[in-house]
Amino acid sequence: MGVGPAALIQVRDLVKHFPVRGGLLARRSAGAVRAVDGITFDIGRGETVGLVGESGCGKTTTGRMIMKLIPPTAGEIYFDGRPIAALSPEQEKSYRRQVQMVFQDPFSSLNPRMTVGNIIAYPMRIQDAYTGPARDQRVRELLELVGLSRYQANWYPHEFSGGERQRVGIATALALDPTFVFCDEPVSSLDVSAQAQILNLLKDIRKEFNLTILIVTHNL
């Protein structure tokens, strides 16, 4: 199957096997866990795609391979027509700006010792994006974008509800103006009302910024 020009993400025959070690010193392979076994799909620009399945079926593993957090055993992932396995260091730095992640647990994914303002600003510091007052202004804009107050920039994660913490996570994912966002079960730990609010927020953000979004879930 060729790589279509309309798709931002193309996954082709993707495989991920995790070796199982055996023996007294765990040096010998005793087989492998087949987490992902030959998955193929496309995600068009500006689309939201749901990857649905029971726990342990490889949904999150697939997303983590797209994010280049773990390497595939076989297969290819293309971003904007380029295989991500062949990116140069400079291209990979750009790729890591363009693809961001919203984590499943909005509490453990946030550093409890940092204010949310510093949490949101952290990706900008790592990538040298925005500086000084412009960075502070960007943090305030992101807080308001996700339905929080700019005055909450000095709050700590424990001062927010679960749904509000996930809004902070979304703001952090948007800090570098990404093209693609991977959401790993973003509402599974929230109550029903907060789930609806977060999903509506993601829908609105996708429309406003023409984001491409992959949502992993076990619950339709």
CATH number of the domain residue 14 falls in: 3.40.50.300
pLDDT at 34: 86
Q: Report the C-alpha gap between 122 and 110 in whole angstroms.
A: 11
Q: Report the C-alpha gap between 183 and 63 in whole angstroms.
A: 8
Contact 182, 14 (CB under 8 A): no
Contact 109, 103 (CB under 8 A): yes
For the chain, the domain total comes to: 1
Asked if pLDDT for residue 219 goes beyond 80, the answer is: no
Q: Report the C-alpha gap between 96 and 8 in whole angstroms.
A: 15
Asked if pLDDT for residue 3 goes beyond 60, the answer is: no
- 101 within a domain of the structure (yes/no): yes
**Residue 179, token pair as written in the block:** 């093209």
- 103 within a domain of the structure (yes/no): yes
pLDDT at 25: 59
Indicate the pLDDT class of residue 26, thresholds 50, 70 and 90.
low
**Residue 141, token pair as written in the block:** 């804009």
Mean pLDDT of the 195-208 span = 95
Tens digit of each residue's pLDDT (9 = 90 or more) over 37-93: 899 999 999 999 999 887 778 899 999 999 999 999 999 999 999 999 999 999 999
- 27 within a domain of the structure (yes/no): no
Domain that holds residue 52: 7-20+32-217
Q: How deeply is 193 buried, as exposed, middle or buried, from its count of CB atoms within 10 A (0-12, 13-18, 19+)?
A: exposed
- 1 within a domain of the structure (yes/no): no
- 59 within a domain of the structure (yes/no): yes
- 26 within a domain of the structure (yes/no): no
Tens digit of each residue's pLDDT (9 = 90 or more) over 117-135: 999 999 999 999 998 899 9
Asked if pLDDT for residue 153 goes beyond 60, the answer is: yes
pLDDT at 29: 62
- 2 within a domain of the structure (yes/no): no
- Secondary structure of the chain in HEC code, one letter for each residue: CCCCCCEEEEEEEEEEEEEEEECCCCCEEEEEEEEEEEEEEEEECCCEEEEECCCCCCHHHHHHHHCCCCCCCEEEEEECCEEHHHCCHHHHHHHHHHEEEECCCCCCCCCCCCCHHHHHHHHHHHCCCCCHHHHHHHHHHHHHHCCCCHHHHHCCHHHCCHHHHHHHHHHHHHCCCCCEEEEECCCCCCCHHHHHHHHHHHHHHHHHHCCEEEEEECCC
- 25 within a domain of the structure (yes/no): no
Tens digit of each residue's pLDDT (9 = 90 or more) over 103-112: 988 888 899 9
Mean of all residue pLDDT scores within the chain: 91
